[in-house]
Structure 1
């Protein structure tokens, strides 16, 4: 698996429109949480449009901030939130959210599932695989088939319920409320709403 920031290119056009959109949202979240956006990515984000839904309003806010901020400013915010001196304001790892410690059982369970899905960590990536950006990218890949064929909805549901549902909404809520969040506040809102939508769709068996 390539855990560097994914591109914002559309997913495979053979996918159903709904699944293509789902993969794009996961990829967008992965890109923003893997690395601070470059000047070029901020320009692309500034062109996004939303709608009157809560998720659409979060997209509109993100686009507005992207148009009115600089790459160095967002990089400083990213560093304070996720890296810091010793550690950032947030630790975006499943193991930490679920056990209070890094590199615990949730990571071991994820690695087993990654092996069964033939997903491997890129050699230049050193963070544990259970970080939020990597999990968003993995979910996008299961949807659009970048790790092989698109995963059946039952496999997507299993992966989501095991590795994302137990903690991701909590993380995104923390990101919304973090003292250092400005540009990343609507990223937290977008992520929280989207994860709730996915959870409900999987519960109902519709997505």
Structure 2
């Protein structure tokens, strides 16, 4: 299983680099190819979920259209995301983002861990997350008013844990404690959301990556 998952990650890194899809590549020479892929994929999800992408980001993601098709969900999801980035306009994606995550009072989806785990915001899961973030040395930016359990913030934390080469066990603990219980459900909801067009492809990419990541972090390496 270790070789299977790492080989898939390395293959995807090579494919999206050849296609110009540098949006997923972390590009840190200190990291192995599979770790660069993992960090880059989390970074891409964080970027797409914290705000609507601009044309520059869409141009980078559109490179995924040339990813070689194989019989796994990850390469298909990458190709579909690249196609969506090619065909959707930034203004339309911005409107879509507003409908999905902001709305009038509330968007179609609520992208917070506490909401998915308890049905309410600012609940006990957020307190446990804040304790773990403090242990890891992360401090809340006073200019950021979103709770720390926003999906984009959690993806960014995982990107940093990988980029800083924290032990596999510590990465797995953070993922299992704060993301595994709800993140796939969020991406499924995103892939099926009424207001989504571009973000349906983001949801499918998220599902495929989280499934791969769950298997990877479950391994003893």
Same topology, TM > 0.5: yes
In the TM superposition, what whole-angstrom CA distance separates every residue of 1:142-185 from its partner, at most 9, and x where no partner exists?
0001xxxx210000000000001010000000001111111011
**Is 1:79 the equivalent of 2:68?**
no
- Which residue pairs with 2:215 in the alignment? 200
Q: Is the 8 A contact 1:11 1:23 kept in 2?
A: no
Q: Distance in 2 between matches of 1:9 and 1:169?
A: 22
- Specify which structure has the higher proportion of helix: 2
Stretches of 4+ aligned residues off by more than 6 angstroms: none
Kindly tell me: are residues 156 and 174 of structure 1, through their superposed partners in 2, closer, same or farther at Cα, counting changes over 3 Å?
Answer: same
**Is 1:30 the equivalent of 2:46?**
yes
- Which residue pairs with 2:20 in the alignment? none
Q: Distance in 2 between matches of 1:8 and 1:156?
A: 19
Q: Which runs of 5+ in 1 are unaligned?
A: 1-6
Q: Distance in 1 between matches of 2:216 and 2:37?
A: 14
Q: Distance in 1 between matches of 2:202 and 2:147?
A: 22
Larger displacement relative to structure 2 (73-82 or 60-69): 60-69
**Is 1:171 the equivalent of 2:186?**
yes
What is the TM-score normalised by the length of structure 2?
A: 0.85
Q: Which runs of 5+ in 2 are unaligned?
A: 1-22
What is the TM-score normalised by the length of structure 1?
A: 0.90
Kindly tell me the number of residue pairs found equivalent between the two proteins.
Answer: 196
| Cα offset, 1:56, TM superposition | 1.0
Q: Say which of 157, 170, 174 aligns to 1:159.
A: 174
Q: Is the 8 A contact 1:11 1:144 kept in 2?
A: no
- Which residue pairs with 2:15 in the alignment? none
Q: Distance in 2 between matches of 1:123 and 1:59?
A: 35
RMSD (Å) for aligned C-alpha atoms: 1.4
